[in-house]
Structure 1
Amino acid sequence: MNKKPVPVFRLPASVIVQLRHVLPEVAGRAVTAITAEVPAYAEAFAGEMGAKIEGAVRAALAMFLNLIARADNAEGARGAPMEPALEGAYALGRGEAKYGRSLDALLAAYRVGARVAWRDLARISVEAGVDAMTVTEFAELVFAYIDELSAASVAGHADELASTVRARHRNLERLGRALIEAEPAHALAAAAALAEWTPPATLTAVLLPERAIGNLLDLLDQRTLQADADGERAVLLVPDAHGAGRGHLIRLLSGREVVVGPARPWERAAESYARAGRALALSLTGDTEDHLVALLLGADPGALSDLRARVLAPLAGEGEASAAKLTETLRSWLRHHGRREEIAAELFVHPQTVRYRVTRLRDLYGDKLRDPDWLIMLTVALAT
């Protein structure tokens, strides 16, 4: 807290004694005026809390009288520290921020209290025979003191807000991390409560480079969570991007280097993150809903390789070029359910060429091309 010296000020000791004597009455009148003129404090001043606040007002006035008494009576007391009063005002500002209130009411209360207190203090000083110039200097000191208290409260309020914002940001980051790490439901609920985060119905994981975030968060639901996947890539958990909302999200992300996982109930956001991660590992981008077959086939590359080797075994005796053409024709034959004209159009060959190749495939595979189980295996193996 900054120290600010109190200037040397000549107020008779007898006057200060009188001022101390009336402090309780002055504080009471200040509280009454604040209650009447600052509605936000009417409830706070009621009952036991009112007595405490009145005591705080009385203490602040007493501190001021102590300061000017020291400045008046002790040559070395110039610059007497105001720390106790400033620390109290600073704490008051932090308290207002903690309760979610702005500083408007508190600063208004300072102004009202200073006006009422000064009216009483000035009256007693004049009645004690203090000259006009001294009374004027006294007024300047009173209001300078109130300005210092106000500034301390403003600083406390700002610091508390900044601290609160930082703490909530940390709690939201921890929640995002807990979600993608699939922590238990009770732990997720506790983390959400600590972060003051209202759970949505679903969350959708979006993977994107850190550099690509830009102003994207401003365009998304305010409840969107952010977590770090690694040093270069970030994870956004977007609320309620299911149904029609998914189309809106995909359009919003258009043109960005992203991978979008499926929407999942918010406690199961890790599933969305995991699928987006698998897509990224397979160099797939955009909407994972458009890559479900590739994701399925890429889930176990070794199994897929073994399956391909098994279903293409009948072609082992063919030359490399012939095997490649027959494999290409078999894939198209499966896609178009044997319709020769469509196969020829896709492969850019004559229908008669298709007829020849399919005949060769029937010779090699025999009854397998009529076996449903084999047809499924061929379809899966040749899907990509």
Structure 2
Amino acid sequence: MVAPLRDRLPHVATQTIDAIMAEVPAYAEAFAGALGVKIERAVRTALGAFLGLVSRPHGPDPQSPLAPALEAAYALGRGEARSGRSLDALLGAYRVGARVSWHELAAISVATGQPAAIIAHFAELVFAYIDELSAASVAGHADELASSGRDRIRHLEQLTQALLAGQPEHLVVAAAQRADWLPPRTLTAVLVPEHAARTVVNLLDPRTLRQSEAGPDLSVLLVPDADGGSRAAMLGLLRGQAAVAGPARPWLQVKASYDRAVRTRELPELPTGTVVDSEDHLTELVLTADPQALADLRAKVLEPLSAARDISATKLAETLRSWLRHQGRREEVAADLFVHPQTVRYRMTQVRELYGDRLRDPEWITALTIAL
């Protein structure tokens, strides 16, 4: 039974390929290009393996002709995934191939006088075989998607690490290309609790990068183009989370945004359980940029008050701070301190005696304002 079929195998393969090209448009161009030779070879391999299956009715084993056909089908599935295509066209090609090859093989079987029972059994084998090839392609497609997905996740993680480490531009750009990640204009670093990171990242731009372990139970998100009017929208999406947002920076300079967010998170007396915008804390960030320098400045500009008693020095410093804030408006200072305006006048007289002309020096006024 098999010999006549094997003799006509090239003809059946040609008919099958012609039908696939006519009925599955997605493969018309593929057959015409360099991929066509591989697909044609796969068709011939599949048909040859099927004939081997027919001649070995007890089923395939690792050494049988069926194994190469299943491997080829698996590889076709992986190739479709690698090309970014679904399995619709390939499975459609299998259906067309099964129909056409069965038509041709049945005609040969009838012409050679095969009994009806044998031909019917032959049909069962054809379609069972196509099911096996389809299953192998589905497995190949799924494995390739899983593998490429893992590869991309790894590349995105490497890109995030490169950005946060402030690596040279050419290395970061190369990492972005490997990750197939389209750079935005800006990136904004956002610190969020690790347990909330997955939920939050699903609300943001799909290009958002994420790195876990930015701190104890902390993740950092790098959010694309969250500047200008988009910043308010991003902060709104973060509402209800204990998040800290750095400023938007050109994407290659996002390390500066991350560093700002980290410093903001370390500020004392920050509100808890809510979104903290680093842009609302610039004064504190500037004043705490160099704590020792601030301490030295305070010691220098407040040294004249050391001539007063401790309690008096504290009250004089408090009055001087309010006087600077309210630009010398006595009534406002008195209201701020809950004292009589005459008390303010008395204390400021003492302060002037201690500082002399320095209270008329703009540089000293600036230094006192910062220190107090």
Q: TM-score, normalised by structure 2?
A: 0.94
**What is the CA–CA distance in structure 2 between the aligned matches of 1:146 and 1:78, rounded to whole Å?**
15
User: Which AA in structure 2 matches 1:189?
Assistant: V
Q: Where does structure 2 lack aligned partners over 5 or more consecutive residues? A: none
- My pick for the range that moved more, 106-115 or 205-214, is 205-214
Quick one: structure 1 residues 255 and 50, their matched pair in 2 at CA, closer, same or farther if it must change by over 3 Å?
closer
**What is the CA–CA distance in structure 2 between the aligned matches of 1:273 and 1:33, rounded to whole Å?**
58
Matched, 1:217 2:178: no
Matched, 1:253 2:238: yes
SS of residue matched to 1:42: helix
Q: TM-score, normalised by structure 1?
A: 0.91
Spell out, residue by residue over 1:246-270, the C-alpha distance to the aligned partner (whole angstroms, 9 max, x if none): 2222222233211111111000001
Contact 1:18–1:124, Cα closer than 8 Å, also in 2: yes
Partner residue, 1:280: 265
Spell out, residue by residue over 1:105-130, the C-alpha distance to the aligned partner (whole angstroms, 9 max, x if none): 00000000010000011111122221
**What is the CA–CA distance in structure 1 between the aligned matches of 2:82 and 2:248, rounded to whole Å?**
36
- My pick for the range that moved more, 297-306 or 321-330, is 321-330
SS of residue matched to 1:168: helix
Spell out, residue by residue over 1:61-98, the C-alpha distance to the aligned partner (whole angstroms, 9 max, x if none): 10111122133xxxxx5443432221111111000000
Contact 2:186–2:224, Cα closer than 8 Å, also in 1: yes
Contact 2:164–2:255, Cα closer than 8 Å, also in 1: yes
Partner residue, 2:75: 91
Contact 1:107–1:150, Cα closer than 8 Å, also in 2: yes
Matched, 1:114 2:114: no
**What is the CA–CA distance in structure 1 between the aligned matches of 2:33 and 2:211, rounded to whole Å?**
47
Out of 286, 300, 306, the residue aligned to residue 290 of structure 2 is 300
SS of residue matched to 2:202: helix
**What is the CA–CA distance in structure 2 between the aligned matches of 1:62 and 1:275, rounded to whole Å?**
66
Contact 2:102–2:123, Cα closer than 8 Å, also in 1: yes
Out of 298, 314, 322, the residue aligned to residue 332 of structure 1 is 322
Partner residue, 2:89: 105
Partner residue, 1:157: 141
Contact 1:70–1:80, Cα closer than 8 Å, also in 2: no
* Aligned sequence identity (%): 61
SS of residue matched to 1:44: helix
Q: How many residues align?
A: 363
- RMSD value over aligned CA atoms? 1.4
Quick one: structure 1 residues 214 and 80, their matched pair in 2 at CA, closer, same or farther if it must change by over 3 Å?
closer
Out of 330, 354, 362, the residue aligned to residue 344 of structure 2 is 354
- My pick for the range that moved more, 234-243 or 211-220, is 211-220
Q: Where does structure 1 lack aligned partners over 5 or more consecutive residues? A: 1-14, 72-76
Partner residue, 1:27: 13
**What is the CA–CA distance in structure 1 between the aligned matches of 2:239 and 2:131, rounded to whole Å?**
53
Out of 222, 244, 258, the residue aligned to residue 237 of structure 1 is 222
